[in-house]
Amino acid sequence: MRYPLIAPNPPRLSAHVEALRRVEASGVFSNNGPEVRAFEAEATETLFGGRGASLAVGNATLGLMIALREAAGDHPAGRYALMPALTFAATAQAALWAGLTPLICDIDPNDWGASAEAEERLLREYGDRIAVLLPYATFGNAIDLDRYAWLQRQHGVGVVIDAAASLGTRDASGEGFGADAPFAVVHSMHATKTFAVAEGGLIHSGDTRLIDRLRAMTNFGFEAGRNATLPGLNAKLPEVIAVMARAKLAEIDTVCDHRAALEEAYRTHLVGVDFQQAEGQRRASQFMPILLPEGMGPRRDAISAALEAEGIGCGRYFSPHLGEQPLFQREAMILPTPIADSVAGRMLSLPVSDTLSVADISTISATFNRILAKEARVPATPRARPIASLLLVGGGPAGTALLTAAAKRGRLPELAASGLVIAERDDGLGEGTLGRYAITSDSTAETFLSAVKDSPHPELATMIDHPSARVVARYVGALGVPLVDAGRFVRATGERLHGLVHRHGGTVLTGHEVLSTRATAGGLWSSRLRRRSDGVEFEQLSNAVAIATGGHQPLDRLVTQRVGGVALVSEVGDRLMQSDEALSLGGPAKIADLLSTRRNPKIVIIGGSTSAIATIVLLLKTASIPFGAGAITLLHREPLRPFYPTPEAARAEGFTDFGPDDICPVSGFVYRLAGFRLEARELVLRMLRIDGRTPDPRLTVHQVTGDDDPVTRAHLAEADIVIAALGYRPRALPIHDAKGARIALAADHGAAMVDRHCRIVDASGAPIPGLYGIGLAAGFVPWGKLGGEASFSGQANGLWQWQNDVGAMIVDQVLDDAVRAVA
């Protein structure tokens, strides 16, 4: 016997000849005729307790389109429809047709609906750029509509519910799902749904005026007469289909009760799988969704084939999810979706239909259990390569900058094919921690966009039109890009780089961290990797290792830190925080909370780095902190230097504090490396009173003169909060020699991690063969054709340099070594 996944069971028109004759006699076949109006009234009464109103439409996708367009208001262009990754393509397609950009977020691990935490965080981050919330009532689940009504009121955001599979579902109170909702709830009546008709949809809302507007929109926007007053299209349900819908409505309770019994039988008989957390008293089950056990995703095709061979139909709704589909990768803003990735990768759907019995479900379950047990015994395929040419440790902004440098020179395919392995602890490449900061970048929008503009790889070149790139492009010519927006662009670019590396033979291990690396007797490096999902560890051999793990602000550095004679930890104590915490999302709110009882709050910031100035800029923008005159004090040792494009430009503004060694011989820039840029530069120019600029009265500046500075001591004693902005140190990987002894690095003693060729150096300053470093706190100083002023003594952290000459320097060395090894 065969058990199809879905067996459409719409009403037979041949059994409703009298109703068809009634349609013919009326002479009305569309345009909200008597059969459609009767169905709408009967559905409102039968399914939704007689409250609100219902509107029949040609199909659910059309219903979503008009509901979204209405909810978005007059100006949808450039705004977002926030939706979960685990839904059908129609959800995102409808948003695009309504003029909105899909903003795709992760799901809840239990009910598989949109993650409440993600939705609320994104509403805070994006504000009114989110026009509409578009949750999906996953597989007919009765999601919490009261919560969405609260979000609608709290944030002034539109709400449309995609309830495609929910017509017949009852919520926790026993009402039809969507009854009396203050927004549009859009149901499907497609032939494959539980409420099977042929093609059609039903929109319900407790707001009858909303239904009136949507009705006009389904009829070309005609509210009265034949003058279009609203955006509209033709989305009306034909009379013949309404006849079928009325017949289905008469039997829907019996159908849903039967299917609920089948679902319960599956939950009783299936072994070793995970089920969706069901919400509501009853749902209109279209099929039975299950999750294979962790680690069994790679066996899904084999399990599906075995089921089909036994006559059992199966599907994989929704795999690939929205974030994995090419159109939406081009047109949508896709956020990290680790839970959706896992759920979609393990999803299978088993048969549910009106003709199946509970005994059939027992048979199907027994067959499935047997197949699953057999496939579970198949050994997993190892994921590591035998020997990689390069293990890239870290796929954040620095790691992907190295890939970008290779791509710009057309060498990324060569690098991937030579045996590239990338290990990134997060779920995707590109963003790292970039998007977790509340400040603007110290790189221009043009720098970010240059990573993909005119790339020889079409996958990257077309990124220039990606929604995240269009957001970054708004800041061309501005003082930096908000890092939240920049982070989303580099993540989207990272996804494209991931695809390129994979396509050309490289390996990308997201969700993996590298614990350590050691030299082997044969001249290779053996690195210990751990898969974060289950803690499994394994070794990866490689010819070279590039460390791109970023920087951090170690707490132990503060223990011995003294400023102007004051020991920070022992004397400042619990008033001390580091700039990394202050600059993170939520940092200003935390500071505001700490100062809420202070009448005239005082903050001291220590350091002359970009992070110190960025902290000041951020605090001055924080309206919730009532800063008075002199409320913020900057303590710094070195002079503050603004960047200038030419000496002439500097002199024209009256800035003359530079000499020949402060001018880059390649670019002609003044303080190319040491100078502050963008927002930080503007603040420094005001501090220095350049060209008649006036300092912000809320800010005072004091240059620390030595180890015994009474002015510094006084400022620190008066401060309510002291923020240490003392720069970053590299997250250097533990490195061992062939005998297992730890190799001491120059970075361990506060020196640069790398030399002028980006090679990691030991404590004596000697480069370690096959080890490279790039990124924040690596300590690289440009030289030669890379430019830079002779007076510069710090470390350069420019994204543009990483994506160009610095990244290429590592790529060329790795590939040249690979060529020599083959020769």
What are the φ and ψ backbone dihedral angles of 627, each rounded to 5 degrees?
-75, 135
Q: What DSSP designation does 786 have?
A: G
DSSP string, 419-450: TEEEEESSSSSS-TTGGGBSSB-SS-HHHHHT
C-alpha angle with apex 359: 354 to 360, nearest 5 degrees?
55
Q: Is 556-640+676-727 assigned to CATH 2.60.40? A: no
Mean pLDDT on 620-629: 92
783: confidence class by pLDDT, cuts 50, 70, 90: confident
What is the distance, to the nearest Å, from the Cα of residue 318 to the centroid of all Cα atoms in its chain?
19
As a whole number of angstroms, the distance between CA 747 and CA 475 comes to 36
Residue for token pair 């089920």:
275
As a whole number of angstroms, the distance between CA 491 and CA 396 comes to 8
DSSP string, 159-188: EEEEETT-TT-B-TTSSBTTTT-SSEEEEE
- Which residues on neighbouring strands pair with residue 136, listed in sequence order? 162
As a whole number of angstroms, the distance between CA 698 and CA 700 comes to 7
* DSSP alpha helix (H) spans, 338-423: 338-346, 358-376, 397-408, 412-417
735: confidence class by pLDDT, cuts 50, 70, 90: very high
Output the pLDDT for position 142.
97
Superfamily of domain 387-552+749-822: FAD/NAD(P)-binding domain (3.50.50.60)
83: confidence class by pLDDT, cuts 50, 70, 90: very high
The model's pLDDT over 505-528, given as tens digits with 9 standing for 90+, comes to 999 999 899 999 999 988 999 999
Q: Any idea where the domains of the chain sit in the sequence?
A: 13-252, 253-376, 387-552+749-822, 556-640+676-727
Report whether 87 contacts 138 (CB < 8 A): yes
Upstream peptide bond of 318 is cis (omega within 30 degrees of 0): yes
Does residue 707 surpass a pLDDT of 90?
no
- Full 3-state SS string of 593-634: HHCCCCCCCCEEEECCCHHHHHHHHHHHHCCCCCCCCCCEEE
Upstream peptide bond of 320 is cis (omega within 30 degrees of 0): yes
Mean pLDDT on 285-301: 93
As a whole number of angstroms, the distance between CA 662 and CA 791 comes to 6
Q: How many CB atoms lie within 10 A of CB 352?
A: 24
Output the pLDDT for position 797.
67
As a whole number of angstroms, the distance between CA 793 and CA 638 comes to 11
Residue 786's alpha-carbon distances to 410, 637, 672, 801, in angstroms, are 20, 28, 11, 8
% of the chain surpassing 70 pLDDT: 98
% of the chain surpassing 90 pLDDT: 79
Mean pLDDT for the chain overall:
93
Mean pLDDT on 631-637: 95
Output the pLDDT for position 89.
97
As a whole number of angstroms, the distance between CA 455 and CA 464 comes to 10
The model's pLDDT over 487-504, given as tens digits with 9 standing for 90+, comes to 989 999 999 999 999 999
Q: Which of 578, 625, 575 is nearest to 599 (CA)?
A: 625
Superfamily of domain 253-376: Aspartate Aminotransferase, domain 1 (3.90.1150.10)
Report whether 275 contacts 333 (CB < 8 A): no
382: confidence class by pLDDT, cuts 50, 70, 90: very low
Q: Which of 313, 259, 321, 319 is nearest to 286 (CA)?
A: 259
Task: Name the 3-class secondary structure at 208.
Answer: helix
385: confidence class by pLDDT, cuts 50, 70, 90: low
> What b-and-e string marks burial along 185-212, b requiring 16 or more CB atoms within 10 Å of the CB?
bbbbbbeebbbbbbbbbbbbbbbeebbe
The model's pLDDT over 434-471, given as tens digits with 9 standing for 90+, comes to 888 999 998 999 999 999 999 999 999 999 999 999 99
Position 742, amino acid: R
Q: Which fold has domain 13-252?
A: Aspartate Aminotransferase; domain 2 (3.40.640)
Residue 1's alpha-carbon distances to 12, 114, 310, 326, in angstroms, are 24, 38, 9, 38
Q: Do domains 387-552+749-822 and 556-640+676-727 have the same CATH topology?
A: yes
> Residue 426: exposed, middle, or buried by beta-carbon count in 10 A (0-12, 13-18, 19+)?
buried
Residue 412's alpha-carbon distances to 57, 404, 504, 507, 814, in angstroms, are 50, 8, 8, 13, 12
User: Which own/partner contact pairs does 114-117 have at CB distance under 8 Å and 24+ positions apart?
Assistant: 114/82, 114/83, 114/84, 115/84, 115/339, 116/147
Report whether 669 contacts 677 (CB < 8 A): no
Token pair recorded at residue 18? 């009298």
585: confidence class by pLDDT, cuts 50, 70, 90: confident
Does residue 819 surpass a pLDDT of 70?
no
Output the pLDDT for position 586.
87
Token pair recorded at residue 743? 């190799």
DSSP string, 704-725: --SS--HHHHHHHHH-SEEEE-
DSSP string, 527-580: EEEEETTT--EEEEEEEEEEE---EE--THHHHT-EETTEEIIIIIGGGEEEHH
Q: What DSSP designation does 16 have?
A: G
As a whole number of angstroms, the distance between CA 148 and CA 171 comes to 15
Output the pLDDT for position 696.
95
Token pair recorded at residue 280? 């509501």
380: confidence class by pLDDT, cuts 50, 70, 90: low
